[in-house]
Amino acid sequence: MPRIFAHRGLSAIAPENTLAALGGCSDYRVSWFETDVDIIADGTPIIIHDSSLHRTTNRTGSIYDLTVEQLDDIDAGSWFSPEFAGEPLPTLAQLIQVMNESKLNGNIEIKSNEQGAERTFQLIDAVIAELDKLDDERKVLISSFNLLLLAELKRRAPHYRTAALFTADALGHDWLSLMQLCGAETIHIEDRNLTQPMVALAQKAGFEVNVYTVNSRARANQLFNWGADGIITDYAHEMIHLENR
Ligand code: G3P
Ligand code: MG
């Protein structure tokens, strides 16, 4: 059965990576979301795509300077629409609670932290510690563009399934070596220029293939006709029926 992942939650109709966008998936019978996680100054993992605050909040500055006490004053919803004013910037711990309550499954993308190896190890350990609090029935797929990070996570927590992210530009002739070296079971490939032979090649090598970010229904159908295992889309609420095609 093909799988539909809500990219940063239902990001076409709610502010990306907020609990409104992520928790709201259950209203549309979307059971899987994709989200981005990085770590702030006091070691708390939070849900945000960028390392700076300005695009998706009412604040500026680096997320790496924040402490958890400051999160309450940050509005991560108004930039999207006044309807979402006051929507908080969530911690991973809050998201884990929502996943358990709303029975949601998550593709947790760990950002390639910009503060060096020590902080990256902290981020990996903090993510593992939170994910370990999920109910047994919940499913998780951990992804990253940083394949060294992904290999390290696999070493520390081999029980989690992982997905290696490739932009179209990074998907070179060495993709199979990179996949095998980082130990990922799944490949997440950017949609741009993706061809049917590439999907077939990756699957023949034993990997599941999910494609991002697919916002056209026609393209989603084409990818599923090729046998792609999943798509990551901003319009999961409009594409969810494709899981039963
Ligand atoms: O995980 C798929 C996609 O989210 C990767 O790119 O930049 O949207 O996190 P980005
Ligand atoms: Mg992402």
Domain limits, the chain: 3-244
Please state, in angstroms and rounded to a whole number, the distance separating the CA atoms of residues 198 and 204: 10
Please state, in angstroms and rounded to a whole number, the distance separating the CA atoms of residues 48 and 44: 12
Question: Where does ligand 1 bind, in terms of residues with CB under 6 Å?
Answer: 7, 34, 36, 49, 109, 143, 165, 188, 212, 232
Q: For residue range 57-113, what is the model confidence (pLDDT) as tens digits?
A: 999 999 999 999 999 999 999 999 999 999 999 999 999 999 999 999 999 999 999
Please state, in angstroms and rounded to a whole number, the distance separating the CA atoms of residues 61 and 42: 16
What is the predicted pLDDT for the residue at 218?
A: 98
pLDDT over 70 percentage in the chain? 100
Average pLDDT of the residues in 30-57: 98
Average pLDDT of the residues in 23-52: 98
Single pTM value for the model: 0.98
Residue 94 in contact with residue 19, Cβ under 8 Å? yes
Fold of the CATH domain 3-244? TIM Barrel (3.20.20)
How many CA atoms are closer than 13 Å to the CA of 208, on its beta-carbon side? Answer: 15
Active site residue 49: yes
Average pLDDT of the residues in 19-30: 98
Please state, in angstroms and rounded to a whole number, the distance separating the CA atoms of residues 21 and 3: 18
User: Which atom of ligand 1 lies nearest, measured to the CA of 163?
Assistant: 1
Nearest residue (CA) to ligand 1, atom 7: 49
Instruction: Note the Cα 175 to chain centre separation in Å.
Output: 20
